[in-house]
A and B are shown apart, each in its own frame.
Chain A
Amino acid sequence: MARKILTEHINIPGIESFDVYRQQGGYTAVEKAIKTMTPEEVVEEAKKSGVRGRGGAGFPMGMKWGFLAKPEGVPRYLVCNADESEPGTFKDHHLMKSIPHLLIEGMIISSFALGANKSFIYVRGELMYVIRILEKAIEEAKAKGFLGKNILGSGYDLELIVQPGGGAYICGEETALLESLEGKRGNPRNKPPFPAVKGLYQSPTVVNNVESISNMPWIINNGGDAYAAIGIGRSTGTKLISASGHIQKPGVYEIELGLSVDEFLNSDEYCGGIRKGHYLKALVAGGSSVPILPANLITKTANGEDRLMSYESLSDGGFATGTMLGSGGFIVFDETACIVRNTWNFSRFYHHESCGQCSPCREGTGWMEKVLHRIEHGHGSMHDIDLLVDISKKIEGNTICPLGDAAAWPVASAIRHFRDEFMWHITNPLEASQPGAVYQGEMALV
């Protein structure tokens, strides 16, 4: 069995209550951090652990904390990004509803490290019942003296606020989240200035993912070096993967980074293989935003090396033959899945969720969706394929926030790897526009 950091106690009955969580060694990390360590030492442990942001970008968390500006007399804020809305990703939801105290413990440690006296958990608006679970957990922690004024007699105050979002995907982008938290329209801000300098209410702010923060209790208890020993290379620690699609056992799995994709996909401990009688066609490895991979590039990289579940190995080969670990939304397609229809579906999502602030994303996502709709429903022409590639290139990198990139990558990669399937849709419009019709030709190669 692989080592579990986040989900070790997740199946213990009643773990969502304070008492059971405490019995399992909960809140010892808070005691250790607040009583025996200085905030600088906590930041140092986070840096040593090498834990990378689990929200998608994979930026080292300790380094992000190090960038936080610390001017005198200005409050600092920690914001936990629990606005998990990426199609295919559902790990934070699972973590928060099952073991809410882990996040709260992590928030206390992280806020202490950053010197924040008011911290926020911005939860996706659709998860109202999770918000109630978190609020109950916060009340319990407050009653036991782990939150509120003068925590554990140390003189450190922390107020933890749970804020429901309005249900917009864009509010998962950190600056849009801050705008939304301030009560404004959730439009991403232009960067620089970065939130570490001017964030929430123009004060220095750190925004971290639920999973990143939930790693902190373990790091404090066992040391950053012990955490860095897990995993491979610069991908340290464990990662929650939300596996879905045509596999035997969909669900949330905690893996040590560096596990091979083949093992994750086929071993009975994890996904349990493709569903019976079918074979693998494509994989989206990190949530809908990352490039899709065809079957021949999933278990082996273009160089013939084993593909591993790590930030580096998955992005091996760049976007030509690689993808990204992203937020860990592992979506598997077998040969019954239509890539064109799937790409259209993703594209429809990004069109719907674009905030409409900057022109390439506002107009480009809608355009791509319409062209894909046309191809999928048998009204496409050959130059539409090149048009799609061109639109995606013009959106990518020219927008305020990464939503434009996230909308462009799936389309560009689907055409890169499955161009013949798009062509089949165009040359066989009547057949392709039937419900459930799927291209049965040669498997796409690079």
Chain B
Amino acid sequence: MEEIKPQLIKITFDGIEVEVEPGTTIMQAARKIAEADASQSALVPPAMCYYKPLPTSGGKCRACLVRVAQGSAKDPRPMPKLVPSCITQVQEGMVVENTTNQAVLDTRKSIVEFLLINHPLDCPICDQAGECHLQDFAFEHGSAKTRYEEDRRTFDKIDIGPYVQLHMTRCILCYRCVYTADQITDKRVHGVMNRGDASEISTYIEKAIDNDFSGNVIDVCPVGALTDKTYRFKNRVWFTKPEDAHRDCDKCCGKVTLWYRGEEVIRITARKNTWGEVNDFICNTCRFEKKKTSDWVLEGPTKVKRSSVISTNKYRSDLVKNPDFALKLAESQYKKIDDSREYVTDEEVVRHQSIENNDKANHRSLLAKNN
């Protein structure tokens, strides 16, 4: 019997036509373009909460918002709002604008700003630095300065079981780990408590996840909120050398990446694809207990592709490409001091305001204490 192939859908993404299967999301269509032609990888919308191996994830961080200029061939009206590309399904004849639309880029910039206002920016001491999605996202789409002057929210560190530490202060509430706990582990002990910007990831009543696959929450976390306690503060990611390896494991697929410092295996993670998503979840035995080369069959060095500073000069590409970048940056930072306050000449007012300004700092810290 001849196999019936589903009718392919043709969409236009940033002027590039691509054919995909029905039910594909805009994000997957864009990734298909980039997988066919690596030079186009810049036009793929960033994803902070969406994680393909976790069904129903996505739609929360709004980083991947794109504009649909034409809904479909049948109904060519544009969609009224920007839509999240990770969960919006494609329609025949859809025209999507991502990097070609200024409104989309402006929105993305503001999403970086929103995500960073409560993020501690402690990258220098964070284990995730170097493979952090938020770092990449902010570097590619964000602005170099912040307009946020107030206190950031802080939480105490919590140990979730013997292997994982939760540093809620860094969390961007993408809910990936919650979906992992829901879908990979069989007991639902992991969720979100409280509301709004006071929300926190929590194992209910601080109950440890004693599950064989609990370590995977570390891999899915886009930032350094969930970290590996056996690896904390051991080394910077970019000084380690990744090697693919496998072993026979009765619980999981056993395919991992070993991270070497010299001859010593200091960390084991699941293998990740181009988009920073794990291919197969691995068990805690493989992840935390088999830290000897003799436990593993080596397959050769991991190909470092997209989101890693391990590839040379990733964060200095602007400098490498344009030597006058630093000069321009300095110019934009120091010459454009934006102070639109009215110029006051009245001496009485000036004196009054300077007293007031002196008091402000003390007053604010008092206010913060009182609140």
A359 / chain B contacts, CB cutoff of 8 Å: 60-63, 111, 114-115, 172-173
Known: A359-B61, A362-B173. 12 other contacts (CB 8 A): A185-B192, A358-B60, A359-B62, A359-B173, A362-B197, A365-B197, A366-B196, A377-B367, A398-B81, A399-B62, A427-B342, A430-B356
Contacts A355-B196, A356-B197, A365-B196; A397 near B82 (Cβ below 8 A): yes
Q: Choose the segment among A22-30, A201-209, A379-387 that binds chain B (4+ C-beta atoms closer than 8 Å).
A: A379-387
Partner of A363, one of B117, B194, B340: B117
Q: Is the interface of A mostly helix, strand, loop or mixed?
A: helix
Contact with B along A423-445 (1 / 0, CB 8 A): 00001011000000000000000
Q: How many A-B residue pairs have CB under 8 A?
A: 106
In the complex, residue of chain A having the shortest beta-carbon distance to the beta carbon of B63? A359
A354 / chain B contacts, CB cutoff of 8 Å: 195-197
Are A190 and B81 in touch, CB under 8 angstroms? no
In the complex, residue of chain B having the shortest beta-carbon distance to the beta carbon of A185? B192
Contacts A185-B192, A397-B81; A379 near B364 (Cβ below 8 A): yes
Q: Kindly name the residue among B173, B196, B356 whose own CB sees the greatest number of chain A CB atoms within 10 A.
A: B196
Does residue B161 face the partner (Cβ distance < 8 Å to A)? no
B364 / chain A contacts, CB cutoff of 8 Å: 379
Does residue B341 face the partner (Cβ distance < 8 Å to A)? yes
How far in angstroms is the closest Cβ of chain A from B89? Answer: 9
Are B62 and A356 in touch, CB under 8 angstroms? no
Contacts A363-B114, A397-B81; A190 near B196 (Cβ below 8 A): no
Question: How far apart sit A382 and B63, CA to CA, in the bound complex (Å)?
Answer: 30
Give the contacts of A373-418 with B (CB-CB under 8 A). 374, 377-379, 381-383, 386-387, 390, 394, 397-400
| Interface magnitude class on chain A | 35 or more
Partner of A398, one of B82, B117, B197, B367: B82
Question: How far apart sit A378 and B355, CA to CA, in the bound complex (Å)?
Answer: 13
Are A398 and B65 in touch, CB under 8 angstroms? yes
Partner of A355, one of B117, B118, B172, B195: B195
Are B195 and A168 in touch, CB under 8 angstroms? yes
Does residue A334 face the partner (Cβ distance < 8 Å to B)? no
Does residue A319 face the partner (Cβ distance < 8 Å to B)? no
Are B147 and A358 in touch, CB under 8 angstroms? no
Does residue A94 face the partner (Cβ distance < 8 Å to B)? no
Does residue A345 face the partner (Cβ distance < 8 Å to B)? no
| Interface magnitude class on chain B | 35 or more
Give the contacts of B355-371 with A (CB-CB under 8 A). 356, 360, 363-364, 367
B111 / chain A contacts, CB cutoff of 8 Å: 359-360, 398
Does residue B185 face the partner (Cβ distance < 8 Å to A)? no
Are B115 and A363 in touch, CB under 8 angstroms? yes
Does residue B87 face the partner (Cβ distance < 8 Å to A)? yes
Are A382 and B341 in touch, CB under 8 angstroms? yes
Contacts A190-B84, A387-B147; A360 near B114 (Cβ below 8 A): yes
Give the contacts of B217-250 with A (CB-CB under 8 A). none
Does residue A44 face the partner (Cβ distance < 8 Å to B)? no
Are A358 and B61 in touch, CB under 8 angstroms? yes
Contact with A along B51-74 (1 / 0, CB 8 A): 000000011111101000000000
Partner of B196, one of A352, A377, A394: A352
How far in angstroms is the closest Cβ of chain A from B307? Answer: 19
Contacts A190-B87, A377-B367, A382-B342; A356 near B81 (Cβ below 8 A): no
Are A383 and B340 in touch, CB under 8 angstroms? yes
B65 / chain A contacts, CB cutoff of 8 Å: 398
Does residue A357 face the partner (Cβ distance < 8 Å to B)? yes
Minimum-distance CB pairs A-B, first 4:
A356-B199, A394-B110, A354-B196, A363-B114
Are B60 and A357 in touch, CB under 8 angstroms? yes
